[in-house]
Structure 1
């Protein structure tokens, strides 16, 4: 298989496996399953209960187990006694255990050779093959393959192939295991299991008034399946006769479906029954075709750098896997690949993830924003709970729009998420659908009302202050006039005023929106933009003294009290603001901010480095930008560091895409320009870079070299383009070639920036 299209492993490592489970997660937007083993590991129970408490997840230590199952359906949530609403880890449906003469196949305890495991990024098929040298003598070749259907919601398709070097018998068990926990807690108030025919088993679990039904069937040309059930497990078992060098094939098909609380006539509601006439090859073919369509508009080709090529495709794969298919859900912070962030929705979606969909799959982008509109009532209730008017979006939200964050610091003070959502709505409206501002008008106005009630006026009413807030840098607890927050709120209020004028709202409120927007300060000291009013009063972090092990987060080596009183940044708020509002600041101001904040930044947040990559590119710091690209794009791919153990950093996947397209390709967003514009700074390690973009409803294909940019109009209408100042108009199906200078000095860009 092409190494630029697949994640490959040639050995099994118990120490690294949990990270590979996260990295190898499969999904179809509705159902997602971590890359766990079909046969599992004998020394790794999944029903261990523990008490997880609210804490700083960055510094949190999770139970150190070799494997953690994870079966998640987007939006299927339940209550945790301490942590509030969380995603539910559903019963494990992949189980296919193999026994030979009493010996259970186990990657840790058995003698295994010729191990190979690969995830095909092109179609999301996970395969594994190896040779099992059994204790009693026969050498058995085992091949597993599985995919989560992209054409049949909730259906998992598996295939097991077995052969032996001599005649022997082997037992296979396939079933459902509901004895699982979510963050150490048993979410199931009821588990019901039964046989559903000669080759099918059924399981239903009840969670807080909702039920999930699971129907699984085993298909084989030989063998007689016998039903078994014990504890919270059920399944089918059969003995198979293996003839020397003759391969047998066993299929397992499973469907997960939200159902009513009553089980009568449950089989009639499952699609699995309708797929009997389709072979494994039929299902795989239609599944692959659907993935081909996804990749057609999303792929980025990088020439001469296979490491970067695999990295960007891995990020895109996970973004495509988590693409929202239904109303009422969004994309959780771990990309439905783990429980660490409880399956909740953060600002990550609007700022880091959404741009990928805006410019590749705009319909999916709108679904993400529709989720925020549909949970406006929850935001209004949240504002009322805090004693304010309008709508205040939760820091961590569930599917109902309720605040679920159990940490008061973030829930009470990290309020920028409300304005981040409005920023994202404006971005989408300018890039895709201008009328969307009308659809979101109530949200925009209600969030503006919240900010009017949240500000505090100075004694002479000369400034409107936002006091007691936390910006994206979560190591600065309660600060006044956080620069990032104030700039976002200014945009929110300006848009609230604009929409109010269009909808005929009262003039007094419009004037208040405009006045507060004008009088919100961005703290500064000369050319230096201050993160907040108090930042220079904080203590020096003394990293050399307190941060002894740089391979671990700073927060794991000092107390939270020390974090909150020193100039240590989880991520740089000011640089983040400068990235999102590039035309507000000169290059001198950006350079001043970089020089001041970079030494204080710990990058404990996975969201931090990518923003520094953009700023490095703006400042033409090519080597630093490349160093950052390698770290950002390889974050989860390097399984030795265990980064993906608790799930994928899906926002970092979005940031990787942005760093490639908005960074190296230099594409300006629709918030910056109305004309498709590129200012490329291709890394010297790449020969070329190519991709498709959806620009205001028109598709174009872009291929970049170090001094040449080729753009082809794939749409029916004309499109205006700008490459490093050279403008042109492309007719339908026309291709144009632009030459550009990638080595322009920063001083030459100053006039453009101003």
Structure 2
């Protein structure tokens, strides 16, 4: 029988060298609060404790040796905020710490069904005092501003003094810039200033304010101790921290319980009485309802999540654990208020500064769209809410019309200082437009298209007419762009970009025609708002139809861009131990060669598969596989999906194996900086789009299932057009069943069937 925990991740022996990694793996979050899986007690194992609020950031100035028009003046980064987790314990004046003493027994587990982190340690002090330490931690899905820690201390072989100190610490800092450009930020340590630190009505409170972004944060704690022993308690404070101290006359085998309620609430501009009262109300309600109430609500919320989302795999326990780990962390990381999104590292670490990228639209949003469409709607709403910022960015880049979404951002401002692998990735406009259409297609939410989606499509389409041009042959060209492959920058006619632009332009035209014919009042309102002529809308369709896509007739291959095949191939043998390449070579040396960081053309052939025939896909796959490093975690899942489509099943499973356990096995050796959210969603895509062969074409759901040799069966559910459909793939057949909603016609291996 397998020892793998199918519904959790367990650390059975403490390994201090893995402490920074495990801070990420054991992180908890609810889409608003995220906190790393650090111990409650002070520890010095080389990790970096952190608690983060989605969308809570500060600015820092960007410096350039030479600065030109359109370069962002400043960037912003997610802040490490007030630490509410810390609880120190002293056993007869000796601090409880796994750095010293003897660990007799140890287990730590994150439970995917309960949404709780637990730890159980039997520890013997250097003086010989033995305790059983047990802790539980949850970040509440029921009340998004609430985190709770519960600890239990049992003295096993002594009577004596036990001191428990529960802290709020406001003196917190982000990781500063390192040699790795993906980690660290140009902060100086004063970005989050403590305005007030006080004790009020048996609560500890810290109010902080950012240095530049004018965001504030209230953090409150309330502690509830339960024990039969005699104890006294009091508060201590200084300018940046407050602590609640409990001195207990402990007796052997008598249990000491402490429940700690921590509330975080961010605000803009100035704190007012109503907001402050709201925060007080949250902590008082939590103190009244107690931990077990929130523990039960946590389970109910997660039960609902797994009903829609779980993938049941028979025959591969490591994969079963890996995919659940990934889906659980995606749930913990995603903003659900249309004002926040999901960052490249979720809320588990400071890598990529907490920024949101195209990862959301192309990798992460499909996961939520087909499992939790209400969350998907909030993610597309987020892009609509930033449309004015995108218009402003287009003007900063000297474009007269349209909107240009930032490559990386939190609040809508462009944060990328390196334009060849940032601003030049104009495909983000096409990515967002693509996902708007996919959202409407999967939900039948035409109201969204009318009220918001059409405006996104049209404004992003206008940008293509600004940056592209018709040549003397009447072909529409887009020059000086970077596609998804960041090892090939500033090129002309990147195939992925051009095809996504054509898709954007065509769907903008369709959306305009829909409004014009079916919703004339809304159509007039929109064209008046954005000041667009019908001739410009007509040009969308012309540009889409005349979009130039390079093709090499001699090789019978699509070049990634105009000049790709003119370059020499990269020397993969010499660079075998130098990955990722960006950490070992100057960018120009990489740009001059045929080498891909990640799926680019192959991604286009997945997303816009109808443009390419099967034989073309086979030839392109064979060519590009040989020159792709997969230095990006966004790559192997796409190669897995396409390998499945092309019948390359062994390759498909190998690539999937790299994707599904990337973080849990630390395959890129950087998970300590945070999870890889896009890759996590990509693993889900590899099963649903890959093994199950799911596609949505012309509004119809299609499947072409394959059962990997390593599995006996697999079962999953998808939400589609107000229905929940269960799919079960076995060695003998594939079964479809409606769990919620009306019967629907779908396609299985090109055969039309009615699912009831």
Q: TM-score, normalised by structure 2?
A: 0.90
- 1:595 positional shift: 1.7
Corresponding residue for residue 314 of structure 1: 325
Residues 263 and 283 of structure 2 are in contact (CA less than 8 Å); yes or no, is this contact kept in structure 1? yes
Written as runs of structure 1 = structure 2, the 5 A alignment for 1:104-115 is 104-115=95-106
- 1:507 positional shift: 4.0
Q: For 1:652-701, what per-residue CA distance to the aligned partner results, in whole angstroms no more than 9, with x for missing partners?
A: 11111111111112222x2x243332211111111111111111111122
- 1:468 positional shift: 0.5
Alpha-carbon distance between aligned partners in 1 of 2:100 and 2:618, rounded to the nearest angstrom: 56
Alpha-carbon distance between aligned partners in 2 of 1:721 and 1:321, rounded to the nearest angstrom: 32
Corresponding residue for residue 146 of structure 2: 155
**Residue 392 (str. 1) matches residue 419 (str. 2):** no
Greater displacement, 77-86 / 120-129: 77-86
Secondary structure in 2 matching 1:605: coil
Pairwise CA RMSD:
1.8
Corresponding residue for residue 122 of structure 2: 131
Corresponding residue for residue 62 of structure 1: none
Alpha-carbon distance between aligned partners in 2 of 1:404 and 1:363, rounded to the nearest angstrom: 28
Corresponding residue for residue 381 of structure 1: 392
Corresponding residue for residue 331 of structure 1: 342
- 1:96 positional shift: 0.8
Q: For 1:698-752, what per-residue CA distance to the aligned partner results, in whole angstroms no more than 9, with x for missing partners?
A: 1122211023112111234221132223332234xxxxxxxxxxxxxxxxxxxxx
Corresponding residue for residue 679 of structure 1: 704
**Residue 218 (str. 1) matches residue 231 (str. 2):** no
Secondary structure in 2 matching 1:29: coil
Unaligned runs of 5+ in 2: 63-73, 177-186, 517-526, 528-532
Question: Quick one: which of 605, 617, 634 aligns to 1:578?
Answer: 605
Written as runs of structure 1 = structure 2, the 5 A alignment for 1:148-187 is 148-164=139-155, 165-184=157-176, 185=187, 186=189, 187=191
Corresponding residue for residue 633 of structure 2: 606
Corresponding residue for residue 261 of structure 1: 270
Corresponding residue for residue 360 of structure 1: 371
Alpha-carbon distance between aligned partners in 1 of 2:544 and 2:48, rounded to the nearest angstrom: 48
Secondary structure in 2 matching 1:360: coil
Question: Quick one: which of 34, 54, 59 aligns to 1:79?
Answer: 59
**Residue 304 (str. 1) matches residue 333 (str. 2):** no
Alpha-carbon distance between aligned partners in 1 of 2:29 and 2:449, rounded to the nearest angstrom: 32
Alpha-carbon distance between aligned partners in 2 of 1:507 and 1:216, rounded to the nearest angstrom: 58
Alpha-carbon distance between aligned partners in 1 of 2:576 and 2:584, rounded to the nearest angstrom: 8
* Shift in alpha-carbon separation, 1:582–1:116, aligned structure 2, 3 A: same
Corresponding residue for residue 14 of structure 2: 12
**Residue 698 (str. 1) matches residue 723 (str. 2):** yes
Alpha-carbon distance between aligned partners in 2 of 1:341 and 1:84, rounded to the nearest angstrom: 12
Greater displacement, 715-724 / 699-708: 715-724
- 1:253 positional shift: 0.8
Corresponding residue for residue 751 of structure 1: none
Corresponding residue for residue 197 of structure 1: 201
Alpha-carbon distance between aligned partners in 1 of 2:252 and 2:610, rounded to the nearest angstrom: 71
Corresponding residue for residue 251 of structure 1: 259
**Residue 710 (str. 1) matches residue 721 (str. 2):** no
Secondary structure in 1 matching 2:636: helix
Alpha-carbon distance between aligned partners in 2 of 1:233 and 1:385, rounded to the nearest angstrom: 42
Secondary structure in 2 matching 1:525: coil
* Shift in alpha-carbon separation, 1:113–1:617, aligned structure 2, 3 A: same
**Residue 35 (str. 1) matches residue 15 (str. 2):** no
- 1:131 positional shift: 1.3
Residues 77 and 353 of structure 2 are in contact (CA less than 8 Å); yes or no, is this contact kept in structure 1? yes
**Residue 490 (str. 1) matches residue 499 (str. 2):** no
Residues 227 and 235 of structure 1 are in contact (CA less than 8 Å); yes or no, is this contact kept in structure 2? yes
Residues 178 and 191 of structure 1 are in contact (CA less than 8 Å); yes or no, is this contact kept in structure 2? no
- 1:73 positional shift: 1.3
- 1:644 positional shift: 1.6
Secondary structure in 2 matching 1:227: strand
Residues 358 and 431 of structure 2 are in contact (CA less than 8 Å); yes or no, is this contact kept in structure 1? yes
Q: TM-score, normalised by structure 1?
A: 0.90
- 1:32 positional shift: 1.0
Equivalent residue pairs, number:
702
Secondary structure in 2 matching 1:7: strand
Q: For 1:309-334, what per-residue CA distance to the aligned partner results, in whole angstroms no more than 9, with x for missing partners?
A: 10110111012212332131111111
Corresponding residue for residue 740 of structure 1: none
Corresponding residue for residue 617 of structure 1: 644
* Shift in alpha-carbon separation, 1:640–1:677, aligned structure 2, 3 A: closer
Residues 22 and 35 of structure 1 are in contact (CA less than 8 Å); yes or no, is this contact kept in structure 2? yes
Secondary structure in 2 matching 1:277: helix
